[in-house]
Each structure stands twice: as C-alpha cells, then as structure tokens.
Amino acid sequence: MLKKILIANRGEIAVRIIRACAEMGVRSVAIYTEPDRHALHVKRADEAYSLGEDPLAGYLDPHKIVSLAKQVGCDAIHPGYGFLSENAEFARLCEEQGLVFIGPKSDVIHKMGDKTQARDSMRAAGVPVTPGSEGNLADLDEALKLAEEIGYPVMLKATSGGGGRGIRRCDSAEELTVQYPRVISEATKAFGSAEVFLEKCIVNPKHIEVQVLADSQGNVIHLYERDCSIQRRNQKLIEIAPSPQLTPEQRNYIGELAVKAAQAVGYQNAGTVEFLLTGNQVYFMEMNTRVQVEHTITEQITGVDIVREQIQIASGLPLSYRQEDIQYRGYALQFRVNAEDPKNDFLPSFGRVSHYYAPGGPGVRVDTAIYTGYEIPPYFDSMCLKLVVWALRWDEVIARGQRALDDMRLHGIKTTANYYKEILAHEDFKRAEFNTSFVPDHPELLKYSEKTHPSEIALAIATAVAAHAGW
C-alpha cells in the first residue's frame, strides 16, 4: 500500500483526496502557490509546501512537482482533475523517477488524449464513433470536402482539446471557413497543438458518460452512467446519476461499451467514457483519463469510494468489487455552484466570501474548499463548491435539490445557485425530458428575481453595528 501521496492540485478535489488518504492511513502532502497560502487543502493536509509566488506556474510545472515529491519522501502523486491530470509527459516523468502516478499509464493518457487516436482505437474495438475524419485534417480544403460528404452541421475539434475548449459547430461551408483558423489558434494557445479533426454534429443529443474502474490484473468494471446533458457552451452545470432517460437495455449496452473501450486500450485506474445518445444510437465521444468532477454522484448511488479505489489500484491491489457486486440505488444530482453571475452572461464573480453556511440534512453532501472569510482568487476555475443530493425517487431528489439550494447561504459573491433552482422547477426537467439543448433553448430561466433572504439582512445589520461599535 502507498504510504505518502503528494496531491498535485488545489481546491475541493485536493481536500477530497486528503480525506481519502486520512481514512486509509496514508500521509498527504499539499502544494500551493501564494494565492492559496490560506486555502483549505493547505490547512487539511499532513504537510504543505509552497511552489512560489506565481498563481499558476507552480501547479503546471511537472519537474518542480516531481522533484518536491521525491525530496519529501512521497511514493506517489495524485493529479486530481485539471492542471496536469491528463498530461502524458507528467505521468511519464513520474514513471521515470520511480513515483507512482495515480492514474493510467502515460502511453494510455497520450493515446486517449489525442482525440483522433482515441477514435481509431474505438473503431478497432467495435465501439461506435460519430462519422468524421479518420485522422487529423491536413487543411481547410480537406475539411470542406469531408463536411460536404457527411453533411452539415459538423463539429470542428482540437485533437488535444478538453474542458469544452477548441470546439466549434459549423452549419455551413461559410462557417467552417471562418471557424477553421479560429479553432487552430485556440488549440495552439490552449493545448500547444494545431491539430484538429472534424466529425458529424449530432444535433441535440443526450450526453451520457460511464464511470469505469480497472486494475493491473486486467479486471474492468463500470459503475453505471451519469447524465451530463444540462450544460452551457459544453460546460456541465448539473449532473445526474443514473440517467432518468435511459431504458434498462440502453443502460446495460452503454455500460458494456464503456468496459470494452477501457479494455481495448489496456486502461488502469479510474476513468470516464463519454457518449452521445440520439434515439437508440450511441456514439463514443471521448475518454477522460482521470477522476471526474462529478464522480460524487456515482459514489452516492453505488456506495463505492472512487478515490479510495484509485489509491488501491495504484498500490497494485485488485479491485474491491466485481461487476456483479455493483448495484445502484436512487438518484443523485450534482450542482456546480460557480462564482459567476448568470444574469450577466455568467461573468466570474471573484471576491471575499462574507458568509457561508453549508446545506445539510438527509441525502446532502457538499464538496468544497471555501469558508467564511475566504477570498476566491481570480486565477483559477470559478467553481466554489459541489452540492450533491440523493433520494430514492426522481421527484424526491428534485425536491431535495430545491431545499438544499434554499438552505445554502453564500454571501459576498454572485453564484449560479438561484439559476439551478429555476432549472429544477421547469416541467421538462421534472419529466426527465431534456438534452444538451436545454439551457440554450430556455433563456427565460435567467429572468428569475433576486430575493434578499432574511439572513442577508441580518448579516448586513450585524456588520453595520460592528463597524459602528468599532469591533
């Protein structure tokens, strides 16, 4: 079993991994840059070390992180998600320096991170992929010719892309001509690669992803699916497990496809296989070679601690479960409560959290790294917390989500919480009839009224009194 793990991340996912380490008797090491000096993951870890003044450079420096891990006696690094989590060179450096990278092997990260290689691997394994280019596009002329063959609309995507970046929908040859250089420019700046590919745009699909676990003994299982169709500009907002829109036959079929996909590339550790579903047709989209932001809801419906399994797998141990052991119960929702103003085109709303009260009660979980007085820095992702609710029935989990969002008090910044309450109240959502077009098709949901809660008034009075009294 691993003894000491450096967590190459920050925020709530770092806190999540620290908690798993504590339960397993594994020593945790946090890293931070100057804006994170007082962050929760720094306070909670067994040890914490600075990576310097620059907000981002340290988190993105694989050599500095690996050197520090060796210097302080770690035997493994957990990358979390984001930052270097899907960086094949980082994983390779860990392997070369005798550190365990808690994730798949570097060659698998490289293969699945290259979207065209991933599509080729899936074709060879018999996993259906969307019609499109069989490699990277040579130039605009090739893109235009292929788009004409498969029919518009098409999606132009960065080969090394992720996180919703480097993607453009093109509905005509004119749009493709305009977007082609833009995607190449964005891909080069964001991912260091100018390679792009093209695929048929599946209009208004359901976005379904499957959590898989695989050990070094060749055992691969799935933990059922998550529905991520509630998204804005390819960024997920609300995630659901299991999908209330699948039939049992579809659920079994997609789960089996995900296992086949993982087996095809010799996958190890936790990963997610993402699909697009339209009618009864399923298409492979991509594989995320890391723990997902939304792993929480899979844990809620299955009882499997995914981060614990990651550490055990990385320790060389077999999976704790067989496929027949995995059952799901009820429904879970995850709300990404972001420091954004939905009424102002979702602009970031960084600043000081003047008051924070976490929701609680039956079936409520909060993963966060914020606290009252915490200053949300402007250098990182805008997510403040992940609010997760669970209940046995679909109508019950919606009601619990409304109640938990109402319970939460987060003052000092704008957040997306009130917007999510509008989504939950929509009849289509309550009937579990939605796809990836739900958010853009319902701009009226942004017209909610901002109500001042009595707690905000009380807080303002208390602050004014304290200031007047010179406290």
C-alpha 129/C-alpha 263 separation (Å) is 17
Check: CB of residue 373 under 8 Å from CB of residue 353: yes
Q: Which helix (H) or strand (E) holds 417?
A: helix 417-425
C-alpha 91/C-alpha 105 separation (Å) is 7
C-alpha 258/C-alpha 122 separation (Å) is 10
Three-class secondary structure of residue 365 per DSSP: strand
C-alpha 201/C-alpha 170 separation (Å) is 9
329 is catalytic: no
Check: CB of residue 307 under 8 Å from CB of residue 291: yes
Burial of 149 from C-beta contacts in 10 A (0-12 / 13-18 / 19+): exposed
Check: CB of residue 80 under 8 Å from CB of residue 14: yes
Token digits of residue 224:
């059922």
Burial of 315 from C-beta contacts in 10 A (0-12 / 13-18 / 19+): middle
Q: Which residues pair with residue 157 across a beta bridge?
A: 167, 197
| Catalytic option among 10, 119, 290, 400 | 290
Check: CB of residue 394 under 8 Å from CB of residue 433: no
Check: CB of residue 276 under 8 Å from CB of residue 371: no
C-alpha 421/C-alpha 173 separation (Å) is 39
Write the DSSP assignment of 57-106 as a string of letters. TGGG-HHHHHHHHHHTT-SEEE--SSTTTT-HHHHHHHHHTTPEESSS-H
Query: Looking at residue 318, what DSSP letter applies?
Result: P
The DSSP bridge pattern shows strands 383-391 and 364-368 to be antiparallel
Catalytic amino acids? 290
